[in-house]
């Protein structure tokens, strides 16, 4: 729940479903600036849901423009779960129980 509640995480997962993309392509498709996409990509990478396919090294610096991102098996598994209504029901109920005043 913590992962999918982050801004643009679900949108990035969805955008990477069909094919690997660069950060610039993701920004264009999602109509979002670079910073929020960077945050979402790093969160997804930390959970093993995506990987860079043509760039090695640290995630701490700025990614080269040519770096492409793709879903891992974990990322596909997360998408499979998010396609199930009962998962969204559980997320919604959990959020309401944890945050009744929001």
Are 72 and 50 in contact, with CB atoms under 8 Å apart?
yes
- Residue spans of the domains in the chain: they are 9-98
d(CA 45, CA 52): 9
**CB-based burial label for 24 (10 Å; 0-12, 13-18, 19+):** middle
Q: Which residues pair with 22 in a beta bridge?
A: 68
* Per-residue pLDDT band at 59 (split at 50, 70, 90): low
Verdict on whether the full-model pTM lies above 0.75: yes
CATH of domain 9-98: 1.10.10.10
Tell me the average pLDDT across 7-11. 92
pLDDT of residue 12: 95
More confident residue, 88 or 46: 46
């Amino acid at each position: 729940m913590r992962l999918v509640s982050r801004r643009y995480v679900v949108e990035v997962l969805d955008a990477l479903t069909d094919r690997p993309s660069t950060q610039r392509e993701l920004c264009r498709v999602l109509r979002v600036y670079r910073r929020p996409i960077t945050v979402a990509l790093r969160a997804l990478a930390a959970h093993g849901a995506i990987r860079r396919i043509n760039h090695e090294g640290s995630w701490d610096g700025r990614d080269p423009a040519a770096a492409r991102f793709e879903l891992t098996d974990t990322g596909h598994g997360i998408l499979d779960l998010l396609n199930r209504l009962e998962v969204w029901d559980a997320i919604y109920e959990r959020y309401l129980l944890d945050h009744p005043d929001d």
